[in-house]
């Protein structure tokens, strides 16, 4: 243990020795009381920073995580985490100076969400980095490192890996739902991101989920919280329950008789901090012999160490992160970063040549439910930006001053029009270019009680775009002579077959954050090229998927879904055309496999390509995935440029998770693919680039 850590641990133990039992218990609640006689200020552990400091007023709003995942850019993700932490520090200092010790004003941020987006019907999937454990791990690790800083002891802010574990809907039954995944699915799909954040990023906190796993509520699971997280992975930080998850042990899962038993079960399992209020019953649990004071002291020491690392338990002049000026909040640098992230996140799904647009077009119609709706930029868990660029605003700043811009809604986001007259149809049909915003917003997908326009607690029972939105497209597309561009909003997969047929170009914007309008216009008018790639598979429909409640990975994601794919994982177009993939060379080494390939840009446009490395083990499609993403690189290529890139795959990455959850190296032929999207039948139908090499590994 480093000297400073020993010193701080001793300091924490000294403070604990001076506390009464009641004071100790008060510090295990997320709304921790102040202890004036020791100089300890009140502290609320609950703050959010999913894509910018959230729910605490003014802050830079970056794209929703599903959009950031579409960038496949770890460096960008790190820079975003660093910017969010800087603003978090500045806001904390200001909050402290005005006596604001409440919720969302702290330095312990309950982000990122590294659950696997296993089913596109899940309303909270937008919060995640997609369906692939490797991509989720890489983006999550980068975010945490940016958030926590690089000091060997002190933390810039404390990040939190949530929701541990096997959690991804349905929202309506999350407080009492039990999941019995196979050990293979557990260790292959649901745990890798958490393990990576613990062992690589040294994440300071892990949040336990609402649901039960193998019959035990996750928040009271000794198997998850102690045997795997602490004993197997060596986690040193603190464990916090999701809000009210300790209460759920009693009221949701009905595993105990009262809140005292629920608190005891959670604390004994390893949950240090109560995200709700059930730990108020720990005194009763102690009196009944369900816990000991030593149990309380164990968790309290861990929590105090987090606060000492943040420099906020007691006065601390040594933290390198103590000073953070207010001027950094919503600064120009962060605004530019938000715009860069939004540009890189958007995915060009179709283009028949209409894009990029000329800036001196005579007339353009901009309509749909989200053209001026800044809420459609924000997703969920958001802050309030000092500047929000709507899609209409972004377009208006890019076209010539002589261009006629006509804006009408045409349709509402969630409900059909009432008025039988709709002037927008005629106006759209008479303009040279029509840009229609459609899809979803936070009213139609989201967390349990956020999405107020759904009947499924934020989830969806269909992947279809609302029918009245499609009907408007049909009406303006009939016998047309102009060009239609669909700007599709939302945080999940949608059925896009009809949109694709009705439109000349289709752009997926996700929830792009404060600079969404500027970024979209940068792309539509050719000031930048598209480079976003899908971090999820787009099925043909929900009917192509297993039941939502089924947590088996069979038939899910690009790894196990063979049919019913409309757009494959990793898909995305760019102006100019395709980057060409040369022959893939694979060489076995003592440490694993080394691969090399040359990418060629024969187009007239600069392209930033995401080359994706996939592996198929000898048992692929039988007892292992069809393919697994094991690497990716963003490669910038000027017109006519060629670049040779290499990948190194170590022996551990070659292993396959088998039925008992262990990883083994299966002897036989391994197929490696460097591709523009996940190798599958649909990728071949779309003519996507893919270069393969097979090597025998014993």
Q: Known catalytic residues? A: 242, 445
Give the strand pairing for 656-657 and 585-589.
unpaired
Closest alpha carbon to 61 in 356, 357, 392, 330: 330
- As a residue count, the chain comes to 698
- E strand or H helix that includes residue 254: none
Q: How far are the Cα atoms of 53, 124, 134, 139, 549 from residue 65, in angstroms, in the given order? A: 13, 11, 15, 9, 24
Give the strand pairing for 205-208 and 212-213.
unpaired
Three-state SS at 531 = coil
Cis ω on the peptide bond leading into residue 165 (within 30° of 0)?
yes
Round to whole Å and give the CA distance between 347 and 68: 11
What residues contact residue 371 under an 8 Å CB cut-off, 6+ apart? 390, 391, 392, 407, 409, 435, 437
Contact 35, 19 (CB under 8 A): yes
Phi-psi region of 387 (alpha: psi -120 to 50; beta: other; left: phi over 0): beta
Round to whole Å and give the CA distance between 304 and 569: 43
Round to whole Å and give the CA distance between 649 and 629: 11
Specify the residue for token string 């400091």. 53
Round to whole Å and give the CA distance between 625 and 617: 8
Alpha helices in 434-562 (DSSP H): 467-477, 497-502, 516-524, 557-560
């Amino acid at each position: 243990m480093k000297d400073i850590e020993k010193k701080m641990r001793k300091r924490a133990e000294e403070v604990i020795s001076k506390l009464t039992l009641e004071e100790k218990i008060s510090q295990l609640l997320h709304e921790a009381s102040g202890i004036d006689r020791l100089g300890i200020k009140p502290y609320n552990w609950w703050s959010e920073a999913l894509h910018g400091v959230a729910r605490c007023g003014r802050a830079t709003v970056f794209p929703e995580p599903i959009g950031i995942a579409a960038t496949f850019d770890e460096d960008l993700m790190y820079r975003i985490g660093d910017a969010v932490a800087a603003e978090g520090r500045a806001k904390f200092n200001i909050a402290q100076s005005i006596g604001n010790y409440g919720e969302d004003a702290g330095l312990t941020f309950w982000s990122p969400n590294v659950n696997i987006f296993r089913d596109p019907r899940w309303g909270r999937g937008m919060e995640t980095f997609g369906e692939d454990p490797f991509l989720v791990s890489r983006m999550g690790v980068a975010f945490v490192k940016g958030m926590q800083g690089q000091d060997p002891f002190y933390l810039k802010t404390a990040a939190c890996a949530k929701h541990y574990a096997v959690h991804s809907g349905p929202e309506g039954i999350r407080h009492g739902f039990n999941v019995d995944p196979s050990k293979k699915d557990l260790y292959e799909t649901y745990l890798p991101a958490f393990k990576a954040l613990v062992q690589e990023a040294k994440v300071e906190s892990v949040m336990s989920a609402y649901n039960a796993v193998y019959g035990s509520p996750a928040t009271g699971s000794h198997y998850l919280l102690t045997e795997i997280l602490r004993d197997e992975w060596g986690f040193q930080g603190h464990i916090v329950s999701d809000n009210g998850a300790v209460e759920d042990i009693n009221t949701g899962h009905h595993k105990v008789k009262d809140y005292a038993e629920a608190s005891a079960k959670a604390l004994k399992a390893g949950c240090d901090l109560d995200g709700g209020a059930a730990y108020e019953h720990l005194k009763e649990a102690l009196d009944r012999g369900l816990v000991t004071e030593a149990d309380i002291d164990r968790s309290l020491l861990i929590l105090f160490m987090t606060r000492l690392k943040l420099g906020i338990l007691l006065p601390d002049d040594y933290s390198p992160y103590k000073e953070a000026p207010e001027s950094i909040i919503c600064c120009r640098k962060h605004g530019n970063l938000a715009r860069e992230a939004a540009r890189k996140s958007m995915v060009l799904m179709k283009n028949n040549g209409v894009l990029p647009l000329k800036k001196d077009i005579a007339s353009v119609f901009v309509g749909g439910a989200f053209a001026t709706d800044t809420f459609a930029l924000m997703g969920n868990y958001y802050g309030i930006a000092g500047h929000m660029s709507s899609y209409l605003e972004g377009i208006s700043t890019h076209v010539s001053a002589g261009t006629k811009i006509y804006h009408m809604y045409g349709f509402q986001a969630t409900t059909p029009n009432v008025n039988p007259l709709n002037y927008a149809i005629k106006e759209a049909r008479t303009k040279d270019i029509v840009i229609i915003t459609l899809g979803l917003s936070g009213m139609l997908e989201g967390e349990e009680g956020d999405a107020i326009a759904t009947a499924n607690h934020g989830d969806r029972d269909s992947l279809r775009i609302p029918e009245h939105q499609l009907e408007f497209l049909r009406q303006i597309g009939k016998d047309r002579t102009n060009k239609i561009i669909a700007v599709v909003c939302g945080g999940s997969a949608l059925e896009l077959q009809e949109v694709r047929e009705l439109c000349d170009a289709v752009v997926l914007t996700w929830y792009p954050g404060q600079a969404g309008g500027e970024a979209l216009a940068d792309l539509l008018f050719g000031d930048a090229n598209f480079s976003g790639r899908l971090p999820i598979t787009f099925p043909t429909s929900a009917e192509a998927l297993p039941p939502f409640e089924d947590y088996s990975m069979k038939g899910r994601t690009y790894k196990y879904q063979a049919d019913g794919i409309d757009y494959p994982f990793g898909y995305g177009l760019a102006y100019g055309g395709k980057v060409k993939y040369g022959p893939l060379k694979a060489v076995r080494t003592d440490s694993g496999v080394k691969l090399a390939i040359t990418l060629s840009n024969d187009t007239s446009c600069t392209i930033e390509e995401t080359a994706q490395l996939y592996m198929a083990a000898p048992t692929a499609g039988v007892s292992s995935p069809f393919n697994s993403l094991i690497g990716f690189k963003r490669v910038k290529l000027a017109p006519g440029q060629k670049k040779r890139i290499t990948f190194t795959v170590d022996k551990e990455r070659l292993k396959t998770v088998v039925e008992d959850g262990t990883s083994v190296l299966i002897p036989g032929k391994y197929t490696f693919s460097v591709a523009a999207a996940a190798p599958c039948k649909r990728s071949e139908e779309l003519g996507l680039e893919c270069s393969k090499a097979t090597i025998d590994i014993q």
